[in-house]
Chain A
Amino acid sequence: MIPGAFDYHRPKTVDEAVGLLSSLGDDATVVAGGHSLIPMMKLRMAVPEHLVDLQDLDDLKGISVSGTAVTLGAMVTQNELIASNALAQACPIIRETALQIADPQIRYVGTVGGNVANGDPGNDMPGLMLALDAAYELVGPDGTREVRARDFYDAAFFTARSDGEILTAIKISAPPAGHGWSYMKQKRKIGDYATAAAAVVLTMDGATCAIASIGLTNVADTALFAEAASAALTGSDLGDAAIAEAVAAAKAITNPAQDGRGPAEFRTHVCGMMVQRAVARAAERAA
């Protein structure tokens, strides 16, 4: 499968890249790891006339962890997320999620910025970022702005990022030490997108759940922040009744497509299972 023809650009700085996007206009697309974009280009579902490669932008690389403040450069690969011990200490759900994405070859090149910017409901990082209440830093011709992940996803492949903007970093305030976490993903095989997946982070105060937050992957047009399900756990003892309430609230907001992964009802059912298991696992891990 041969993609359409395009001109290739490899800027050295963020300013140069933003300048290229402005001057080339609508026909330009940025490429990070290329492992969502290139398959789409081979199918000619994406036919950019200009490809702006971000690989030389050193400002977009690197992971910084200082206490609970975590910053991930957009060009950090999934493999680098897995390899970082500092990150696994501060916010272990990121490694757990990255390990469930695709396969080793894809994780060496697929980036966290590409994964969250892509806007595909099948990507695993958006649901996680909704649970963590992350913010995305965007740089465009008018300067820099931050958008919360919870305000970023409009519809499949439509996000708050405008065409002239580059997503440069992801900022996370990690939950406090001792928090519980779990990313549970049901997939048919390694390298498959989720039938349904759930990200859960929670903090206990004795026997009471002080705060909980749930994100859902691939059960609607976009990843979902399950607000009512999160609220059902917050302040509860995480007993069977509270979990059942959270599961029901999570299922209520799903609207999955019917595809090779199963009928919509099945995927909603699996979503409920993932929430239930992720809450149980997170509770076990919480101090």
Chain B
Amino acid sequence: MAKIHVKMTVNGREVEGLAEPRTLLIHFLREDLGITGPHIGCDTSHCGACTVDLDGKSVKSCTVFVGQAEGADVTTIEGIAAADGTLHPLQEAFREHHGLQCGFCTPGMITRAHRLLQENPNPSDAEIRMGISGNLCRCTGYQNIVKAIRVAADEINSAREAAE
């Protein structure tokens, strides 16, 4: 089966490559592009460790073929911090409030939370829990993850108000 030529934007950078159509986006990111932030946890569309942002939607990149992402704008955990390396408020809050233990789920959690806060800048704890319900954490527990997202939301909102 012929390989296909794919082009997309990943973390603001235009990338392209030749790939078999059956290549999953997660494999293209990790193996062809060396972007290893998104993890493969379950490989069955359940855990959310492979979550990336694709054209403004959180998706599980283990369940997207590379051709489906042709022309798309993709953001992974590597694209969340500022260009100068300053951590995003979500990353700061996860660190400060013990939102991670082993860190395996964290790239997916933060990428998902990032999209959630764009859609709902001031979520209740219940809305955060629903919003990250496609992401599983097997060791930290959700208490501190929810707290970190809550704190980051407050941080982002007050920075925005101060700027206005």
Residues of A within 8 A of B (CB): 1-8, 10, 31, 34-35, 38-39, 41-42, 51, 53, 55, 79, 102-106, 108-109, 190-191
Q: Is B57's CB under 8 angstroms from A34's CB?
A: no
A41–B62 CA distance with the chains assembled, in angstroms? 12
- Residues of A contacting B58 with CB < 8 Å? 104-105, 108
Residues of B with C-beta under 8 A to A190: 133-134
Q: Which residue of A lies closest to B1 (CB)?
A: A5
Contact residue among B21, B45, B59, B130 (Cβ-Cβ distance under 8 Å from A108) = B59
Q: CA–CA, A103 to B133, complex, Å?
A: 6
Pairwise interchain contact B45-A106, C-beta atoms closer than 8 A: yes
Least Cβ–Cβ distance between A190 and chain B, in angstroms: 4
- B133 & A104 in contact (Cβ 8 Å cutoff): yes
| Contact segment of B65-73, B82-90, B92-100, B143-151 | B65-73
Contact among A10, A104, A191 for B46, CB-based, below 8 A: A191
Given A35-B63, A190-B133, A191-B133, 18 other A-B contacts at CB below 8 A?
A: A5-B20, A5-B22, A6-B22, A8-B67, A10-B67, A34-B63, A34-B64, A38-B24, A38-B64, A38-B65, A51-B65, A55-B68, A103-B48, A103-B133, A104-B58, A104-B112, A105-B57, A105-B59
Q: Is B118 an interface residue (CB 8 A)?
A: no
B51 in contact (CB, < 8 A):
yes
Bound-state Cα–Cα, A31 to B64, Å: 11
Hey, which chain B residues are within 8 Å of A7, CB to CB? 1-2, 21
Which chain B residues numbered 29 to 61 have a C-beta less than 8 Å away from chain A?
43-46, 48, 51, 57-60
- Interface centre among B51, B68, B112, B133, by most A CB within 10 Å? B68
Shortest CB-to-CB span from A176 to chain B, Å, is: 31
CB–CB B51/A51 < 8 A: no
Question: A104 near B131 (CB under 8 angstroms)?
Answer: yes
> What would 9 A/B residue contacts be, using CB atoms closer than 8 Å?
A6-B1, A8-B4, A31-B65, A34-B63, A35-B63, A51-B65, A104-B58, A105-B48, A105-B112
Residues of B within 8 A of A102 (CB): 134
Task: Give the complex CA separation of A39 and B65 in angstroms.
Answer: 11
Cβ B22 vs Cβ A4 within 8 A: yes
Q: Which residue of A lies closest to B20 (CB)?
A: A5
Q: Chain A: which residue is nearest B6 at the CB level?
A: A8
Chain A residues with CB under 8 Å of B67's CB are: 8, 10, 51, 53
The winner among B64, B67, B132 for most chain A CB atoms within 10 A is B67
| Contact (A109, B70) CB under 8 Å given A5-B20, A8-B21 | no
Contacting residues, chain A, for B59 (C-beta < 8 A) = 105, 108-109
- 6 shortest interchain CB distances as A-B pairs: A103-B134, A8-B21, A108-B57, A8-B67, A105-B134, A5-B1
Please, which residues of chain B bring their CB within 8 A of the CB of A38?
24, 45, 63-65
Chain B residues closer than 8 Å to A31, beta-carbon distance: 65, 68
C-alpha gap A235/B43 in the complex (Å): 51
Q: How far is the CA of A42 from the CA of B51 in the complex (A)?
A: 18
